[in-house]
């Protein structure tokens, strides 16, 4: 039997890698001057999900100026006691090329740039939770989870909605995978970078561009998330595709940035980030509503209206659902913000939005409505949510 004994170079590289991993684990990797985005995205077996992974990988490459790690987590659905499942798992643990053989869209070149993580689980949800908790080695662990969001309209088209009577009888509809993954990632201490389902790289990349095209990247920093939203925009401008694009930070008075705009100017100056700060008033935006925003408002008017118990009779195919008064207030607020973004950023190359937190008070369909109303129409949008750990430093 032929035996592959390897080479001296491979052996030396392995030993060096082990020593580096041990040293890195002892470092204070949470310090803003050391911290680097380490991206994790999931790979599922369906062709559509694999295409989503390819899109997220391309987006990670645009942001990954510091050449941090890229990780792909793969969930093999089944039971490890099943011989065929166990054999497939072992093959993937031994060689990443197994993923290329079983995929229609994932390429070997793509996987060469990623660390592969694999687990066996009964469902994608359980497998994703396992990957989120165990991916990486020592201090080299993912700190940003990348995913795609199914917005409300796509959810309605993709699956039936259980009527409220069933929910009241204790048969609460199970949350979709994207929502459970989002909550699991946040509870695991990871930041989030995600896009609407319809987002594709072709929306922001010009194949004829030589890096000289100009435009704006608008950052709607709606909450203090430790600075990941601003850092993501800054890293994008370091890529050749966006090096001539201007950063604009939109200071929204409804969020309370009016009084803090001076402090923000000083902060950006210290960070040496060249960005224009624009004060935005939602009241002014209401007076300059575009036809597109007006059409959007007409479509959703009345959605947040209900009786005293919060019952909402949805005319859009969702059926009757019990929408809380808390959710109604949040939806109305984010609808105004979404229309404002559509007005002010209509010509932007891309919008980066701080993503609202999916609180326990939200049912998944309420949160989906928030994301749907907050997403500007016809503008490539990326949602970002940091962990509130500071990732900005005065010396990049």
Claim to verify: residue 125 and residue 229 sit in the same structural domain: no
In the sheet with 275-280, reading across from the earlier edge strand, the strands are 115-121, 70-77, 39-43, 144-149, 191-196, 381-385, 350-354, 215-220, 245-252, 275-280
Claim to verify: residue 119 and residue 216 sit in the same structural domain: no
Percent of the chain scored above 70 by pLDDT? Answer: 72
**Token pair 């989120």: residue:** 132
Q: How far apart are CA 111 and CA 67, in angstroms?
A: 15
Q: Is the pLDDT of residue 69 over 80?
A: yes
The rounded radius of gyration (Å) of the Cα atoms in the chain is: 23
Claim to verify: residue 274 and residue 345 sit in the same structural domain: yes
* Candidate from 231-245, 252-266, 289-303, 376-390 with smallest mean pLDDT: 289-303
Query: What is the pTM for the complete model shown?
Result: 0.82
Residue at which a domain ends, from 94, 111, 142? 142
Q: Which domain holds residue 331?
A: 164-396
pLDDT range class, residue 213, cuts 50, 70, 90? confident
Q: What is the pLDDT of residue 264?
A: 66
Asked if 78 and 122 touch (Cβ cutoff 8 Å), the reply is yes
Q: Is residue 136 part of a domain?
A: yes
CATH number at residue 123: 3.40.50
* Candidate from 50-54, 170-174, 328-332 with smallest mean pLDDT: 170-174
Q: What single DSSP character describes residue 318?
A: T
How many domains does the structure of the chain reveal? 2
Helix, strand, or coil (residue 77) = strand
Claim to verify: residue 128 and residue 185 sit in the same structural domain: no
Percent of the chain scored above 90 by pLDDT? Answer: 33
Q: Is residue 147 part of a domain?
A: no
Asked if 70 and 62 touch (Cβ cutoff 8 Å), the reply is no
Residue at which a domain ends, from 109, 142, 175? 142
* Candidate from 24-38, 111-125, 207-221, 259-273 with smallest mean pLDDT: 259-273
Cβ atoms within 10 A of the Cβ of 244, count? 13
Claim to verify: residue 237 and residue 304 sit in the same structural domain: yes
The pairing of strands 311-314 and 319-322 is antiparallel
Q: Is the pLDDT of residue 306 over 60?
A: no
pLDDT digits (tens, 9 = 90+) for 166-195: 344 444 568 899 999 999 999 999 999 999
Alpha carbons within 13 A on the beta-carbon side of 135: 33
Q: Is residue 246 part of a domain?
A: yes
Residue at which a domain ends, from 142, 174, 199? 142
Q: Is residue 48 part of a domain?
A: yes
Q: Is residue 93 part of a domain?
A: yes
Claim to verify: residue 183 and residue 214 sit in the same structural domain: yes
Q: Is the pLDDT of residue 87 over 50?
A: yes
Instruction: Indicate if the alpha-carbon torsion angle 311, 314, 319, 324 is positive or negative.
Output: negative
Q: Is residue 157 part of a domain?
A: no
Helices then strands, each counted (H, E), the chain: 15, 12
pLDDT digits (tens, 9 = 90+) for 112-153: 889 999 999 999 999 999 999 999 887 788 999 999 997 655
Claim to verify: residue 293 and residue 396 sit in the same structural domain: yes
Cβ atoms within 10 A of the Cβ of 260, count? 13
Claim to verify: residue 191 and residue 124 sit in the same structural domain: no
Residue range 296-323: average pLDDT? 45
Claim to verify: residue 137 and residue 178 sit in the same structural domain: no
Claim to verify: residue 243 and residue 291 sit in the same structural domain: yes
Claim to verify: residue 216 and residue 302 sit in the same structural domain: yes
pLDDT range class, residue 271, cuts 50, 70, 90? low
Residue range 254-258: average pLDDT? 54
Claim to verify: residue 191 and residue 83 sit in the same structural domain: no
Q: Is residue 353 part of a domain?
A: yes
Cβ atoms within 10 A of the Cβ of 288, count? 10
* Candidate from 6-15, 73-82, 115-124, 307-316 with smallest mean pLDDT: 307-316
Question: Measured in Å, how far apart are the chain's first and last C-alpha atoms?
Answer: 53
Residue range 266-291: average pLDDT? 68
Closest by CA to 254, choosing from 340, 356, 345, is: 340
Beta strands in the chain (DSSP E): 39-43, 70-77, 115-121, 144-149, 191-196, 215-220, 245-252, 275-280, 311-314, 319-322, 350-354, 381-385
Whole-number mean pLDDT of the chain?
78
Q: Is the pLDDT of residue 390 over 90?
A: no
Q: Is residue 21 part of a domain?
A: no
Q: What is the pLDDT of residue 11?
A: 86
């Amino acid at each position: 039997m032929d035996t592959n004994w390897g080479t001296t170079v491979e052996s030396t590289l392995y030993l060096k890698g082990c020593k580096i991993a041990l040293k890195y684990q002892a470092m204070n990797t949470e310090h803003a001057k050391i911290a680097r985005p380490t991206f994790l995205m999931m790979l599922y077996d369906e062709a559509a999900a694999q295409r989503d992974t390819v899109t997220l990988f391309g987006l990670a490459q645009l942001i990954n100026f510091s050449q941090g790690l890229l990780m792909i987590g793969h969930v093999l659905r089944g039971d490890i006691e099943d011989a065929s499942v166990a054999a497939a798992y072992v093959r993937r643990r031994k060689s990443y090329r197994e993923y290329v053989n079983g995929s229609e869209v994932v390429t070997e070149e793509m996987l060469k740039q990623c660390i592969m993580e694999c687990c066996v689980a009964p469902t994608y949800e359980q497998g994703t939770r396992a990957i989120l908790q165990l991916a990486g080695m020592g201090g080299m662990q993912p700190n940003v989870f990348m995913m795609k969001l199914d917005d409300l309209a796509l959810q309605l088209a993709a699956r039936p909605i259980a009527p409220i009577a069933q929910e009241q009888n204790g048969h609460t509809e199970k949350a979709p995978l994207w929502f459970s993954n989002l909550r699991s990632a946040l509870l695991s201490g990871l930041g989030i970078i995600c896009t609407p389902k319809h987002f594709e790289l072709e929306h922001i990349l010009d194949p004829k561009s030589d890096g000289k095209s100009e435009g704006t990247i608008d950052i709607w920093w709606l909450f203090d998330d430790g600075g990941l939203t601003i850092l993501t925009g800054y890293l994008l401008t370091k890529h050749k595709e966006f090096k001539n694009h201007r950063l604009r930070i939109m200071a929204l008075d409804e969020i309370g940035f009016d009084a803090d705009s001076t402090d923000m100017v000083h902060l950006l100056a210290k960070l040496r980030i060249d960005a224009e700060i624009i004060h935005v008033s939602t009241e002014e935006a209401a007076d300059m509503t575009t036809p597109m925003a007006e059409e959007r408002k007409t479509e959703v008017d009345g959605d947040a209206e209900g009786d005293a118990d919060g019952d909402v009779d949805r005319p859009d195919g969702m059926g009757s659902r019990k929408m809380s008064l808390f959710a109604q207030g949040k939806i109305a607020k984010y609808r105004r913000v979404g229309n404002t973004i559509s007005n002010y950023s209509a010509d932007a190359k891309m919008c980066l939005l701080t993503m609202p937190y999916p609180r326990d008070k939200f049912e998944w369909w309420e949160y989906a409505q928030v994301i749907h109303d907050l997403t500007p129409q016809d503008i490539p949008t990326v949602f970002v949510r940091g962990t509130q750990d500071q990732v900005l430093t005065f010396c990049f």
